[in-house]
């Protein structure tokens, strides 16, 4: 009996992808894509590039929001996955153990500070955060969780409870009790909470993905010292920043941190198979899994699945072999050097910031063209960013995105396999686009106002 012929299915299916998605998955999302002009039919991908059905090539500076650090359709990750499939490995035992999960756990832990000694696998970033919340509470026998304003840790209820953004939290309450937020960068506010000595953990992204906020000097080190002083655990969420994104394997290395809990996911997948993990100190693990009775206190059916483990092992291998972490540091520095002068050159550019290949440009009200700026800001705060993202995509075939709801910030998280030429292409296109957007011509403003009409 013949199995599924995927090629025949893809070649022969009738109707268009957007219509089918709208009918079966999410019509509102398809409306958004059509309104902002991102409604392409995608045919193929390789490395840092995508091709649409008409054969046009696009430079992917978004990298699936940071899950393609090793590039799309990386042939070495694919090869490892095919090999694993052909080996007929035992699969998940449920009541038993196999080789691959232990090997990936070991490979992750040797790349982190000695304080991290145990690994719990999950299927996604938000699940790794949920594990941190649960295990952190049980290990400390405390209930409160402190997070930072504008933090993002995932969209399931526990992770969402650490999120302060009403566009995500409204309509889904009540959230979990015991969650409090403090301003990112404010050690006094953090200490005021920790001082009560009832905080299980402080969860923080080392570089905030939403808005791309870098920590002020001394902040993360100070937060770690306060956590230690008051008996709270430090959870550094590396879901987006991990695996070379910021120019080091993990972002916490920039500040020499030794967190107790580290959720990871996204790029560990090699872009192929969902996989996440919570890396933690032995003390946390032993406090929770403290007896045979508690041996299976937390877990998930598919978490240590063998394809996910191979994707993770192949990804770590690829980051090392291709020196992608160093590449991220070098190209990130180059991207910053080429774009930081925009702050002086363009009235509308407020700031250009980044770490490794996590980069953003922020816009603010210009001295010239104030009326048009006010008009579009009034329609929707931050809307100016669409005046950049839209033309970058439509005119230059470059994929980027706004860095969050109501923020005039454009952000990029390209695959770490981008080249010097790709960076140059992006910088040239950005220059042209910002120059054009700064004039705020009526055609662009109209486009932005239509985009703001998205409901």
Residues that bind ligand PMP (CB under 6 A): 65, 124-126, 129, 152-154, 205, 209, 237, 239-240, 265
Q: Specify the residue, 262 or 423, whose C-beta has the smaller distance to ligand PMP.
A: 262
Minimum CB separation of residue 65 from ligand PMP in Å reads 6
Task: Map tokens 């756990």 to a residue.
Answer: 105
Using CB atoms within 10 Å of the CB of residue 268, give its burial: 0 to 12 exposed, 13 to 18 middle, 19+ buried.
buried
CA dist., res. 373 & res. 365, Å (int): 6
Q: Specify the residue, 147 or 438, whose C-beta has the smaller distance to ligand PMP.
A: 147
| In 237-301, alpha helices (H) | 282-288
Q: Given CA atoms 249, 251, 252, 253 in this order, what sign does their dihedral have? A: positive
Minimum CB separation of residue 265 from ligand PMP in Å reads 5
CB contact at 8 A, 343 and 351: yes
Q: Are strands 42-46 and 199-204 parallel, antiparallel or unpaired?
A: unpaired
Q: What is the CA radius of gyration of the chain?
A: 23
Q: Specify the residue, 214 or 372, whose C-beta has the smaller distance to ligand PMP.
A: 214
Q: Specify the residue, 179 or 342, whose C-beta has the smaller distance to ligand PMP.
A: 179
Minimum CB separation of residue 128 from ligand PMP in Å reads 7
180 three-class SS: strand
Minimum CB separation of residue 274 from ligand PMP in Å reads 7
Of 48, 91, 63, 131, residue with least CA distance to 310: 91
Q: Specify the residue, 348 or 410, whose C-beta has the smaller distance to ligand PMP.
A: 410
Minimum CB separation of residue 345 from ligand PMP in Å reads 31
Q: Specify the residue, 203 or 325, whose C-beta has the smaller distance to ligand PMP.
A: 203
Q: Specify the residue, 396 or 411, whose C-beta has the smaller distance to ligand PMP.
A: 411
CB contact at 8 A, 55 and 247: no
Minimum CB separation of residue 121 from ligand PMP in Å reads 13
Of 222, 132, 136, residue with least CA distance to 182: 222
SS3 per residue for 361-414: EEECCCCCCHHHHHHHHHHCCCHHHHHHHHHHHHCCCEECEECCCCCCEEEECC
Q: In what order do the strands lie in the sheet with 57-60?
A: 42-46, 49-52, 57-60, 398-399
Other CB atoms within 10 A of residue 195 CB: 12
Minimum CB separation of residue 152 from ligand PMP in Å reads 5
Minimum CB separation of residue 56 from ligand PMP in Å reads 28
Q: Specify the residue, 152 or 384, whose C-beta has the smaller distance to ligand PMP.
A: 152
125 three-class SS: helix
Minimum CB separation of residue 399 from ligand PMP in Å reads 16
Minimum CB separation of residue 203 from ligand PMP in Å reads 9
CB contact at 8 A, 140 and 200: yes
Q: Specify the residue, 275 or 388, whose C-beta has the smaller distance to ligand PMP.
A: 275
Tell how far CA 293 is from the center of its chain.
Answer: 36
Q: In what order do the strands lie in the sheet with 358-363?
A: 349-355, 358-363, 409-412, 401-402
Q: Specify the residue, 60 or 205, whose C-beta has the smaller distance to ligand PMP.
A: 205
Minimum CB separation of residue 217 from ligand PMP in Å reads 21
Minimum CB separation of residue 241 from ligand PMP in Å reads 7
- The DSSP 8-state label assigned to residue 72 in this structure reads B
Q: Which residue is nearest to ligand PMP (CB)?
A: 125
CA dist., res. 245 & res. 315, Å (int): 13
Structure tokens at 5: 């012929």
Cα dihedral 441/407/390/43 (nearest 10): 180
Q: Specify the residue, 209 or 312, whose C-beta has the smaller distance to ligand PMP.
A: 209
Q: Specify the residue, 240 or 315, whose C-beta has the smaller distance to ligand PMP.
A: 240
DSSP E strands in 284-333: the ranges are none
- The DSSP 8-state label assigned to residue 293 in this structure reads G
């Amino acid at each position: 009996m013949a199995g599924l012929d995927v090629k025949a299915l893809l070649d022969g299916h009738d109707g268009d992808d957007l219509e089918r998605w709208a009918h079966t998955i999410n019509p509102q999302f398809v409306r958004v894509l059509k309104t902002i002009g991102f409604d392409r039919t995608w045919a193929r991908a390789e490395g840092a590039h995508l091709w649409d059905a008409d054969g046009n090539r696009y430079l992917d500076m978004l990298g699936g929001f940071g899950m393609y650090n090793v590039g799309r359709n990386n042939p070495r990750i694919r090869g490892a996955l095919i090999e694993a499939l052909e080996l007929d490995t035992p699969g998940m035992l449920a009541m038993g153990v196999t080789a691959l999960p232990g090997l990936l756990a070991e490979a992750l832990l040797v790349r982190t500070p000695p304080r991290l000694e145990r690994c719990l696998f999950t299927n996604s970033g938000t699940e790794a955060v949920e594990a941190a919340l649960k295990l952190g509470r049980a290990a400390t026998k405390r209930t409160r969780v402190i997070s930072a304003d504008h933090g993002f840790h995932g969209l399931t209820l526990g992770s969402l409870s650490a999120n302060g953004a009403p566009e995500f939290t409204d309509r889904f309450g009540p959230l979990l009790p015991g969650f409090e937020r403090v301003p990112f960068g404010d050690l006094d506010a953090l200490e005021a909470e920790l001082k009560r000595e009832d905080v299980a953990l402080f969860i923080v992204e080392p570089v905030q993905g939403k808005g791309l906020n870098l920590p002020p000097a001394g902040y993360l080190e100070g937060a770690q010292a306060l956590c230690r002083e008051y008996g709270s655990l430090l959870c550094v969420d590396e879901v987006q920043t991990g695996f070379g994104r910021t120019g080091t394997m993990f972002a916490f290395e920039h500040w020499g941190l030794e967190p107790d809990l580290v959720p990871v996911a996204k790029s560990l997948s090699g872009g192929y198979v969902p996989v996440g993990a919570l890396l933690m100190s032995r003390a946390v693990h032993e406090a929770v899994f403290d007896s045979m009775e508690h041996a299976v206190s937390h877990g998930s059916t598919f978490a240590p699945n063998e394809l996910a483990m191979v994707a993770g092992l192949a990804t770590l291998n690829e980051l090392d072999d291709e020196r992608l972490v160093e590449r991220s540091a070098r190209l990130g520095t180059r991207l910053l050097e080429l774009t930081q002068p925009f702050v002086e050159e363009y009235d509308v550019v407020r700031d250009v910031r980044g770490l490794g290949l996590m980069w953003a440009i922020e816009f603010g009200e210009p001295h010239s063209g104030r009326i048009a700026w006010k008009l579009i800001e009034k329609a929707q705060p931050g809307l100016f960013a669409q005046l950049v993202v839209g033309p970058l995509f439509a005119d230059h075939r470059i994929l980027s995105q706004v860095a969050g709801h109501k923020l005039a910030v454009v952000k990029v998280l390209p695959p770490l396999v981008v080249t010097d030429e790709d960076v140059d292409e992006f910088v040239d296109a950005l220059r042209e686009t910002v120059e054009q957007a700064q004039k705020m011509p009526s055609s662009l403003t109209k486009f932005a106002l239509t985009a703001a009409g998205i409901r």
